[in-house]
Amino acid sequence: MNKIVECVPNFSEGRDKEKLERIVDEVRKQEGVKLLDYSMDKDHNRSVVTFVGEPDMVIEAAFNACKKAAELIDLRTHKGEHPRMGATDVIPLIPIKNITMQECVEYSKKLAKRIGEELNIPVILYEKSASRPEREDLAVIRKGEFEGMFEKLKQEEFKPDFGPDQPHESAGVTAVGARMPLIAFNVNLNTNNLDIAKKIAKAVRGKSGGFKYCKALGFELKERNIVQVSMNMVDYTKTPLYRVFQVIENEANRYGVSVVGSEIVGLVPLNALVDTADYFLKLEDFSYDRVLENKIYGD
């Protein structure tokens, strides 16, 4: 591959494996694209798929997966812990090799135009692709979720960039954009008190006075009878995982609960883990260059 783009679409289906496999098959069969990872979450009722490839091939795979999701997912009957507004809720493009962020922005517009025109699904551009400042933040766009989009899209500030001016009756609305690598990082607590998770999420969330590059919500994990602080780390180089983890641990102690584990959904840049190991192990004079795999495989 000369130019490499990563694509990490999120689909509003985390309970029916057969449906997800049919969506993922659209990526598997695309020439010039490599499927890296996909995962399901029953509580969130959401799936995250990660693949890379040459830009045009990535766009084709993303479009076909979105089309299949629209055929299989009906948001009128969808319930889950995670906020959602579309069968294909969001499609981010991330520059990986020999491609600029601005190029990814242009590719995101190309993809959004196809989804809007060919699938009749309204698309709002977000993050680096946003057509106006208030659309940069996905949480702002998605507020109100699928059920609220029928009124929301009537507002001038949320008029879709592509496609019809009202949500698709079953597939809703999709956000498409270019962004930096994002880490989906969740921390689980040994309590079923959702209020505690929400208070801790508020403490670390950038918008409520926490870490600038951290988005956080509190969720129930009903199958495990515990709660979770679920986060999107939008720039791990400026807000590292270990710093947020420590604050969550400290806040949990205040409420008499503890952290029982954490998880990363999808893939994570190696440097984010190296930084965490460096911090907690108090390594001296350590750098990424001393990682064995880095020496073997290089760039």
Query: What is the amino acid identity at position 242?
Result: Y
| Residue position matching structure tokens 């999709």 | 174
What is the largest distance, in Å, between two alpha-carbon atoms of the chain? 57
CA dist., res. 106 & res. 199, Å (int): 39
Q: Catalytic site residue 82?
A: yes
- Within 8 A by CB and 6+ apart from 91, the residues are 7, 8, 9, 10, 62, 66, 108, 111, 174, 175, 176, 177
- Asked if residues 227 and 194 have their Cβ atoms less than 8 Å apart, the reply is yes
Torsion angle of the four alpha carbons 152, 155, 161, 162, in this order, in degrees rounded to the nearest 10? 60
Eight-class DSSP state of 172? B
Cα gap 132→136, rounded to integer Å: 7
DSSP helix/strand/coil, 261: strand
| DSSP 8-state symbol, 45 | T
Q: Which of 120, 43, 110, 126 is nearest to 87 (CA)?
A: 120
CB proximity list for 295: less than 8 A, separation 6 or greater: 289
Catalytic positions, please? 82
